[in-house]
Amino acid sequence: MLKLIGTLLNLPVISLRTGSKIALAHTPIINPYNLKIVGWWCRQPDGKQTILLAEQIREAMANGLAVNDEEALSDPTDLVRHKEILDINFNLMDKPVKTKRHKIGKVSDFSYNDGLFVQKLYVTKPMHKVFSSEDTLIIDRQQIEEVTNHYILIKDTDLKVDAKEMAPAGAVAGT
């Protein structure tokens, strides 16, 4: 089942041991190489920035993310294995989306699956193109060719059809 990213923003992190809120998970950390949500930037009540890795979550509920205890939160400097991803500081929202020939728009939302992989991008068109047939496009992850810190390149869906293929069913080409 796909869920929109809004379900994972600004959620309290709840300790199962104490039953209390220990932090606020405010921003997802996304690996741009495979579009997987690896964790969240969290703010503890004292203002300290920590990271909650996805594998530390016992259960994601509508009212918060349940973890064992405060030890589930990590200092960013302790996460050597994730240093490259943290240094990239990749943000999917408002990222320009384009094909090799056209600018499509910007990411306004995205959905993810139970494995925390981004599955669909919801792209809003620029204002001058909004008055066409649709104002939001849905891009599946299989259409994505390249992800950079500056843009997302998707496959061009325009198909070039050969004149022979356009001939009526009973017609013979060249006659």
Q: What is the pTM of this model?
A: 0.80
CA distance 84 to 150: 17
Looking at the domain 96-154, which fold is it?
SH3 type barrels. (2.30.30)
Q: Residues near 2 by Cβ (< 8 Å), separated by ≥ 6?
A: 111, 112, 113, 119, 120
**Predicted pLDDT at 133:** 53
Instruction: Confirm if 116 and 36 have CB atoms less than 8 A apart.
Output: yes
Looking at the predicted structure, is the pLDDT value of residue 171 above 60? no
Delimit the domains of the chain by residue range: 3-88, 96-154
Could you report the per-residue pLDDT of 122-165, keeping only the tens digit for each? 999 876 554 555 678 999 999 999 999 999 999 987 544 344 44
- Running DSSP on this structure, what letter comes out for residue 68? S
CA distance 115 to 86: 20
CA distance 155 to 126: 19
Could you report the per-residue pLDDT of 58-115, keeping only the tens digit for each? 998 878 999 999 999 999 999 999 999 999 999 999 999 999 998 999 999 999 998 9
Q: Which two tokens stand for residue 35?
A: 């579009």
Interior CA angle at 125 toward 28 and 120, to 5°?
A: 40
Q: Quick one: residue 8, left, alpha or beta (phi over 0 = left, psi -120 to 50 = alpha)? A: alpha
The bridge status of strand 96-98 relative to strand 152-154 is parallel
CATH architecture of 3-88: Alpha-Beta Complex (3.90)
Interior CA angle at 11 toward 1 and 92, to 5°?
A: 65
Looking at the predicted structure, is the pLDDT value of residue 170 above 90? no
**Predicted pLDDT at 63:** 86
Could you report the per-residue pLDDT of 34-61, keeping only the tens digit for each? 999 999 999 999 999 999 999 999 998 8
**Predicted pLDDT at 131:** 54
